[in-house]
């Protein structure tokens, strides 16, 4: 069962009910509030994740992600959670500072 650990949410572990699902869907179905200003359409970068480990367990970059990489709006270790699918295995991520909600408590 694919697992995501969100490091700066107190190492919260969440699991996917099935493989090959978008990361944001897994996050939301586990009751975690996650920013997505464009409605999960890949038109902004507010849902980005910083991938610390497990990038090989994600689907290849989408056209939208490649566009943001080319523009410098995504860094090499960042992915859009609305575009990246967790195909198998584990993923360790962080919430980007700019995308943190004020109503949630984050760890270091």
Residue 95: both structure tokens together: 């919430």
Question: Which DSSP symbol is given to 61?
Answer: P
49 DSSP 8-state letter: E
Residue 65 φ then ψ, to 5°: -65, -40
Residue 108 placed within a domain: no
Domain total in the chain: 1
pLDDT digits (tens, 9 = 90+) for 33-82: 999 999 999 999 999 999 999 999 999 999 999 999 999 999 999 999 99
In whole angstroms, what is the distance from residue 75 CA to residue 4 CA?
A: 20
* Domain span holding position 15: 3-97
Query: Would residue 46 count as lying in a domain?
Result: yes
18 burial (CB, 10 Å; 0-12 / 13-18 / 19+) is exposed
CATH number of the domain enclosing 39: 3.10.20.30
The reply to whether 107 falls in a domain is no
106 in a structural domain: no
Distance between CA 33 and CA 10 in Å, rounded?
Answer: 14
Lowest mean pLDDT among 5-14, 18-27, 75-84: 18-27
């Amino acid at each position: 069962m694919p697992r995501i650990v969100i490091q700066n949410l107190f190492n919260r572990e969440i699991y996917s009910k099935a493989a090959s699902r978008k990361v944001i869907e897994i996050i939301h179905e586990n009751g975690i509030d996650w920013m997505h200003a464009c409605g999960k359409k890949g038109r902004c970068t507010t849902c980005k994740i910083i991938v610390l480990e497990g990038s090989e367990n994600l689907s290849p970059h989408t056209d939208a992600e490649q566009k943001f990489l080319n523009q410098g709006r995504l860094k090499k270790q960042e992915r859009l959670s609305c575009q990246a699918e967790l195909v198998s295995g584990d993923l360790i991520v962080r919430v980007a500072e700019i995308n943190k909600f004020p109503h949630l408590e984050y760890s270091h």
